[in-house]
Amino acid sequence: MADLLVMKFGGTSMGSAERIQIAAKLSAEQHAKRPVAIVVSAMSKVTDLLLNTLSKAEEGDATTVEANLEALKTRHIECARELLPADRHEAAIQGIERLVGEFSRIAHGMLLLRERPPRSVDEAIAIGEQLSAFLIAEYMNSTSVAAEAVNAARVIATDAVFGNATPIMEATRERSAGVLKPLLDKRVLPVVTGFNASTLDGKPTTLGRGGSDFSASILAAALDAAELWIWTDVDGIMSADPRVAKNARVLPEVTYAEAAELAFAGAKVLHPRTLAPLAERQIPVWSKNSFRPEVAGTRIVPKIAEGHGPRAVTSMTNIAMVSIEPANTAISGTMVMAEAIEALSRAGVEVPLITSSSYTQSFCFLVRQAELERAQQFLEERLSLELAHGYLKPISIDKEVGLVAVVGEGMRGTPGLAGRIFMAVSRQGINIVSMAQGSSELTIAMVVHRKDLEQAVRSIHDECGMGQPA
Ligand code: ASP
Ligand code: MG
């Protein structure tokens, strides 16, 4: 659909009756001009509450399960009362109770069995988005904007990797044509749940935490939208975290590749997988602030003609550095690396940075702390013989580290940049533990001690003049 606008509202943009009214107004304004479909996250903190409830159910903690269910219901009912005219309260409360009841049924099943099967988790946690989609659709209808809540399980098709599924675009295209086109043709605004989907044979899945951005981009691509607007609670993609670098600024434009790198390296503004579905059709994306809609935000585009040097610097904590070192040269370092990487891939663990360079073929890499235990377990299992026979030193782990990533397509082929960046850091007396630049020259990454992380970000931001317009 050539003029379709897809908009996504995140958890804080859906976080209260007042916020939902604003999201509805922003949607209606655009809907008056062109076809619009929106994708919504659960109200802020709701997904955490749902996940916590299921963990407590598995532990057998019935008291917390009941308290959480009550909190879930109360929050949405109170929101509905504030949001909707009195004559719609009863129907809305019924709708909320039905959805909370579905969640409650699954949570109670887990409580009974003391088990938390991934597929049931995905079915249950999608209720957060169904509740918020229901609320905003009811509100729009009460203001005479025809809207309909749509469960994305009917629209987005994925593989069966529960908790972190990947879309199957062809099937999603067919499903969205079948479900959403008829609504759009009638000028009804579809309100699609973010985060969830289903397999080809209809089993419920989710797209990973923060996955509603990804849902929106999948739909924008499937429907051949003209644009995607992602509404959050910050002004756009920034040159650095403004809490760390006081003079950080909103970047008017970044490329898909830059935005994806920044998201991957810790900038919280966009889910890292968001841009992939849009690349083929080159659909532009805007990152906008629903708290300050008058600010333009950041436009994310396939390519930017001019612009030199690094564009932004980001940092990541909650990571750990894992080092693997052969005890002697009797063992093939390449083989050890191959085995370690295979173990990480089987564990499904992401590696934000990896380096190796010495004659002893030692190497180190980063993993997220949340995935550390799993990574360690898979590595120790895979390398158990080498470790037991003393060919390898014990695997060493350092959690007191942080990753700094400098990102910009303009760094490609620009001599002297890496030198300036490293000088800026070392002038502050900061020791660089490890560093890497891929041959795409899109990102220069370095590991520093956790205590030095923020100073490193500030010194790079200043050295490269990222706070000033190019
Ligand atoms: N509600 C989901 C989460 O909190 C998805 C999202 O908000 O993007 O992870
Ligand atoms: Mg989000």
| Whether residue 227 is found in the same domain as residue 308 | no
Query: What average pLDDT does the segment 147-159 reach?
Result: 98
Distance 144 CA to ligand 2 centre (A): 28
Q: Rounded mean pLDDT of the chain? A: 95
Residues 228 and 312 reside in one and the same domain: no
In a domain, 289, yes or no: no
Say what the pLDDT of residue 92 is: 98
Reported for 88-96, long-range contacts at CB under 8 A and 24+ positions apart, including other chains, are 88/138, 88/142, 91/138, 92/134, 92/135, 92/138, 95/134, 95/138, 96/131, 96/134, 96/135
In percent, how much of the chain has pLDDT > 70? Answer: 99
- 139 and 43 fall within a common domain: yes
- What span, in angstroms and rounded, lies between the C-alpha atoms of 133 and 135? 5
For the stretch 355-405, pLDDT in tens is 987 777 889 999 999 999 999 999 999 999 999 999 999 999 999 999 999
Tell whether 285 is covered by a domain: no
Instruction: Give the pLDDT confidence of 266-315 residue by residue, as tens digits.
Output: 787 899 899 999 988 999 999 999 999 999 999 999 988 766 689 999 99
Ligand 1 site, residue 217, Cβ cutoff 6 A: no
Decide if 257 is inside a domain. Answer: no
pLDDT at 174: 98
Report if residue 180 sits inside a domain: yes
Q: Is residue 110 part of a domain?
A: yes
- Domain end, chosen from 206, 233, 260, is at 233
Residue 413, burial from CB neighbour count under 10 angstroms (0-12, 13-18, 19+): exposed
Residue 308's pLDDT is 66
Q: 275 — phi, psi (to 5°)? A: -85, -20
pLDDT at 361: 83
- Specify the ligand 1 atom closest to the Cα of 214: 8
Q: Assess whether 326 and 440 both reside in one domain.
A: yes
Looking at 186, 210, 233, the residue that finishes a domain is 233
Cα-flanking dihedrals φ and ψ of residue 147, to 5°? Answer: -140, 155
Domain that holds residue 409: 302-470
For residue 302, the CA-to-ligand 1 centroid distance in Å is: 26
The CATH number of the domain where 387 resides is what? 3.30.2130.10
- For 22-74, give the DSSP string: HHHHHHHHHHTTS-EEEEEPPSTTHHHHHHHHHHHHHHT-HHHHHHHHHHHHH
| pLDDT level of residue 85 (50, 70, 90 thresholds) | very high
Same domain, 366 and 455: yes
Strand 196-199 with 204-206, pairing: antiparallel
In a domain, 218, yes or no: yes
Is 139 found in the same domain as 56? yes
Residues 198 and 315 in one domain: no
Of 62 and 303, the one with more pLDDT:
62
Percentage of the residues of the chain whose pLDDT score is greater than 90: 87
**Res 328: pLDDT:** 85
Is this model's pTM higher than 0.95 or not? no
Residue 281 included in any domain: no
Q: Write out pLDDT tens, residues 426-462.
A: 999 999 999 998 777 899 999 999 999 999 999 999 9
Rounded to whole angstroms, how far apart are CA atoms 50 and 62?
14
> 202, 233, 264: which is the final residue of a domain?
233
Q: Is the CB of 209 under 6 A from ligand 1?
A: yes
Asked if pLDDT for residue 83 goes beyond 80, the answer is yes
Nearest ligand 1 atom to the CA of 211 is 8
Domain count, the chain: 2
CB of 402 within 6 A of ligand 1: the answer is: no
Q: Are residues 326 and 460 in the same domain?
A: yes
Q: Which two tokens stand for residue 250?
A: 């909103």
116: CATH? 3.40.1160.10
Backbone angles phi, psi at 152, to 5 degrees: -65, -15
Per-residue pLDDT of 5-43, as tens digits, reads 999 999 999 999 999 999 999 999 999 999 999 999 999
pLDDT of residue 95: 98
288 within a domain of the structure (yes/no): no
Q: What separation in Å is there between the alpha carbon of 143 and the centre of ligand 2?
A: 27
Residue whose CA is at the smallest distance from ligand 1 atom 8:
210
Per-residue model confidence (pLDDT) at position 307: 64
Counting beta carbons within 10 angstroms of the beta carbon of residue 154, is it exposed (0 to 12), middle (13 to 18) or buried (19 or more)?
Answer: middle
Does ligand 1 come within 6 angstroms of the Cβ of 210? yes
